Structure 1
Amino acid sequence: MIARLISSLLLVLLLATPLRAEMLRMAVTTSFANSGLADILLPEIARDTGIELQLLIVGTGQALRLGAAGDVDAVLVHSREAEEAFIAQGHATHRREIMYNDFIIVGPRHDPAHVAGAGSAAEAFARIARAGAPFVSRGDDSGTHRAELSIWSRAGVTPSGAWYRATGQGMGAALNTASGMGAYILTDRASWLNFSNRADLVLLVQGDPALFNQYAFLPVNPARHPHVRAQEAALVEAWLTGPRARELIDGYRLHGQQLFHFNATPMVTK
């Protein structure tokens, strides 16, 4: 089952590194991969550590399922509650925060639900629901989808009905759907800046603390899966929390905007 899921759902990114490089399989989110930051970090990791990273690009939920099955050596995801449950279930040895960025709410320029004046993301969502304005959800158990559901909960809304469309797809496909429908959508800022098919969509809501988006690295537990490359995972983790990673992460820009902020924290073990 897992092999079929990998073959049908995952895009494998394999960057060339020197011969006899060690391999590490890491499941990462679509927002991280689509941001372009992976293209900057992976060659540097290979150069400094000799480890070739093979990225399996999926949503957070699927990334954690791959980790639980032992099909990857580590995961880099962005849903703290799910990550902590993953550790509590014994699938990872610990969680290490690496960097953060933010979500934003975009929607049609004419803003029929008047969300641009909302004081919070939850109020914006409440206005969308009251207006019955079209909203596109990823609906794929990704970190973005889980963040969206959390905001609906804060708004006191259970989204349903003709105005709410769950695509079950990644961020790019969901943005394309929103663009075609003239709908509101929650997206990470990096995906929005990389998105060219905007049509009438514009950025309407940003800056709410509820839109904070933390990324964390979780090595798969070798006690649960003895075949995982724990030593290589530790080396990659050390690199991701070191000065070169800080320089590259904080220095990465799209259209003049900083997308990620390095905030690696001390090791937390359980």
Structure 2
Amino acid sequence: MRAKRYALPIIVLMLIFAVGILAGCGSQPAKQSTPEPAVKDLILATTTSTQDSGLLDVLKPMFEQKTGYNLKIISVGSGAAMEMGKKGEADVLLVHSPAAEKALVDEGVGINYQLVMHNDFIVVGPANDPAAIKGSASVDSFKKIADKKATFVSRGDNSGTHTKELSIWKAASITPEGSWYLVSGTGMGATLNIANEKQAYTLADRATYLAQKANFKLEILSEGDKNLLNIYHVMQVNPEKFTKVNKDGAKAFVDFIVSPDTQKAIGEFGKDKYGQPLFTPDAGKKEADLGK
């Protein structure tokens, strides 16, 4: 009889406990989800180095998962990317040609212009180094290449890399021309492949070179000049000039790429595979302080 006497109170207590748990669960606030963007498609025009290095393969899914946007990447070189911006054919730009970028901002095409990261340019060439440039500064290296008429492959595409190359020729007081000077008209990865086939010299960004090093036999022969600094900025295309621009998505991308989590990911990209990061994160820094 004692078992029957205590059975009912135990069942009641168990029910009360269960109801309490459910009530407690019900009182917890629902998890906040990211609201769906009104316009989901977002066009990023960028240089080939951000794509060829593999960095955007990491950042794209991070951005899409965080914001709900569909990021369409058009990798065409900085010059062509900025031309897209001038025509309102892109929403946001990630480029590395500072002088041209600042002109774009001055024209009112680019807004929310922010420093993102940097790496550096390098002069690469065949191991036998026919122009004997190894260890020389970039300007001296270009002079030796021209004097020897050793084959040099230029991107020739108005990219940030091409612009930097032209500035080095100018500093060397040389107008490159002749059969030794080849123009690829292509991105960085393809230009490196052509230089490899021709056993020629070229100017490359370090990130693309390291990411694709296994595909060719070219060595770093000149590096470390301060004028070889390779600086990347991001900017929105001005929605007041182009009403079809996805201004909310563009701002979301700028906010994302300069955010602490993304900057950390940029700073760690490449460490596991190459033993060094391919880019140095710079959000919040002053451009004048880079490379010091």
The counterpart of 2:149, out of the listed 132, 135, 148, is 132
Aligned to 1:7: none
C-alpha distance in structure 1 between counterparts of 2:63 and 2:233, whole Å: 17
Aligned to 1:260: 279
Correspondence list, 1:174-253, <5 A: 174-195=191-212, 196-199=214-217, 201-253=218-270
- Residue type matched to 1:63 in 2? A
- Residue type matched to 2:59 in 1? L
Which structure shows the higher helix fraction?
Answer: 2
The counterpart of 2:71, out of the listed 33, 49, 53, is 53
Aligned to 1:34: 52
Contact 1:251 1:258 in 2 (8 A): yes
Deviation at 1:197, TM superposition (A): 3.0
| Structure of larger gyration radius | 2
The counterpart of 2:130, out of the listed 88, 107, 112, is 112
Contact 1:105 1:184 in 2 (8 A): yes
C-alpha distance in structure 1 between counterparts of 2:112 and 2:141, whole Å: 35
C-alpha distance in structure 1 between counterparts of 2:148 and 2:78, whole Å: 31
1:64 is aligned to 2:82: yes
The counterpart of 1:44, out of the listed 56, 62, 68, is 62
CA shift digits 1:26-80 (9 cap, x unpaired): 1011100111111111111122222221111101111011111111101100000
Contact 1:96 1:266 in 2 (8 A): no
* TM-score after normalising by structure 1: 0.87
Which structure shows the higher strand fraction?
Answer: 1
Unaligned runs of 5+ in 2: 1-33, 287-292
The counterpart of 1:144, out of the listed 136, 161, 169, is 161
C-alpha distance in structure 1 between counterparts of 2:281 and 2:43, whole Å: 22
Runs of 4+ aligned residues of structure 1 deviating over 3 Å after TM superposition are 18-21
* TM-score after normalising by structure 2: 0.81
Deviation at 1:94, TM superposition (A): 4.0
Aligned partner of residue 70 in structure 2, secondary structure: strand
Deviation at 1:257, TM superposition (A): 2.0
Aligned to 2:101: 83
Question: Which of 50-59 and 68-77 deviates more?
Answer: 50-59
Aligned partner of residue 239 in structure 1, secondary structure: helix
C-alpha distance in structure 2 between counterparts of 1:25 and 1:33, whole Å: 14
C-alpha distance in structure 2 between counterparts of 1:191 and 1:102, whole Å: 11
Deviation at 1:164, TM superposition (A): 0.6
